[in-house]
Amino acid sequence: QVSVAGSGTGRGSPAVTLVQLPSGQTVHVQGVIQTPQPSVIQSPQIQTVQVATIAETDESAESEGVIDSHKRREILSRRPSYRKILNEISSDVPGVPKIEEEKSEEEGTPPNIATMAVPTSIYQTSTGQYIAIAQGGTIQISNPGSDGVQGLQALTMTNSGAPPPGATIVQYAAQSADGTQQFFVPGSQVVVQDQQRQRVPKRSAAATGDMPTYQIRAPTTALPQGVVMAASPGSLHSPQQLAEEATRKRELRLMKNREAAKECRRRKKEYVKCLESRVAVLEVQNKKLIEELETLKDICSPKTD
């Protein structure tokens, strides 16, 4: 004897079907039959939109815009990071991959890209590139138009020697006679950008993923024309130097935030992808359960004729 009892399909409550098997076992099938939804993907993004809508409804009711926007921001900002959410999901569901603490290989990071060290000095060239010199002589070249870590290059100067304290100097020349970009680094060496990519439009740079290549050469001439010299923070005294230092700090902060935003967006996309795949899995499961239920109904329901 099997009894199938439908219940609770009211708005907001999932449909629950009770199936009593001949053995006396009762099976709860919850939410198997769902009302059509506009979208199967219900990411936290959507949830936040809903929260925002509620908040705005309150706003129109109470006419307290400032307080409400604060409240809304509070609600929105309480949402944990994508990494946390996804890792929580993955701990519940075995098949869902975790977002690694560090960047995974998934996105195809070129092997010649090193991880970004904390720079101690940062400079912007006349063509918009950023050159950061970290402790230990690592030079990082960041092209503002390129995509993600692909715009970040690290060159480690193995024989640059220890610069005098507070005296890191970058000497930059806009363009040399052979059409390459050059800048000079401690240790009397020259970093030369190859001709093939200078000021590539940011769209195509992102699409093709091509990067500027740099070579370390011995200087062929004395100081070139148009040399720009910048001092590191160690020897700052005048207001102008302080202003430069503030600008430098700001540039560094912006560069870091730029990278952080890229990383955050990458995680967000990964998170949404995971949710989508999870939805697909659940849909398959759901379908199977429905079929199973139908089979059980067929087997166990008493024949009338």
Partner DNA sequence: ACGCACGAGCGTCACAAGAC
Partner DNA sequence: GTCTTGTGACGCTCGTGCGT
Note the residues at the interface with DNA (CB under 7 A). Answer: 44-45, 48, 52, 73-74, 76-79, 81-84, 144-145, 147-148, 201-204, 206, 253-258, 260-265, 267-269
Closest distance between DNA and the C-beta of residue 8, in Å?
32
Of residues 200 and 289, the one with the C-beta less far from DNA: 200
Closest distance between DNA and the C-beta of residue 5, in Å?
41
Closest distance between DNA and the C-beta of residue 271, in Å?
8
Of residues 33 and 116, the one with the C-beta less far from DNA: 116
What is the spatial distance between Cα 248 and Cα 231, in angstroms, rounded to a whole number? 11
List of E strands, the chain: 3-7, 16-20, 26-30, 119-124, 130-134, 138-142, 152-156, 170-173, 181-185, 189-193, 214-217, 228-230
Of residues 136 and 219, the one with the C-beta less far from DNA: 136
Of residues 268 and 278, the one with the C-beta less far from DNA: 268
If we measure between CA atoms, which residue out of 1, 38, 46 comes closest to residue 20? 1
Of residues 254 and 299, the one with the C-beta less far from DNA: 254
Closest distance between DNA and the C-beta of residue 80, in Å?
7
Closest distance between DNA and the C-beta of residue 44, in Å?
7
Of residues 80 and 219, the one with the C-beta less far from DNA: 80
Q: What angle do CA 200, 178, 172 make, to 5 degrees?
A: 70
Q: Beta strand pairing status for 119-124 and 130-134?
A: antiparallel
Coil, helix or strand for 281? Answer: helix
- The answer to whether residues 191 and 215 touch, using CB atoms and an 8 Å cutoff, is yes
Closest distance between DNA and the C-beta of residue 213, in Å?
20
Residue with tokens 């992808």: 273
Q: How far apart are the first and last CA of the chain?
A: 17
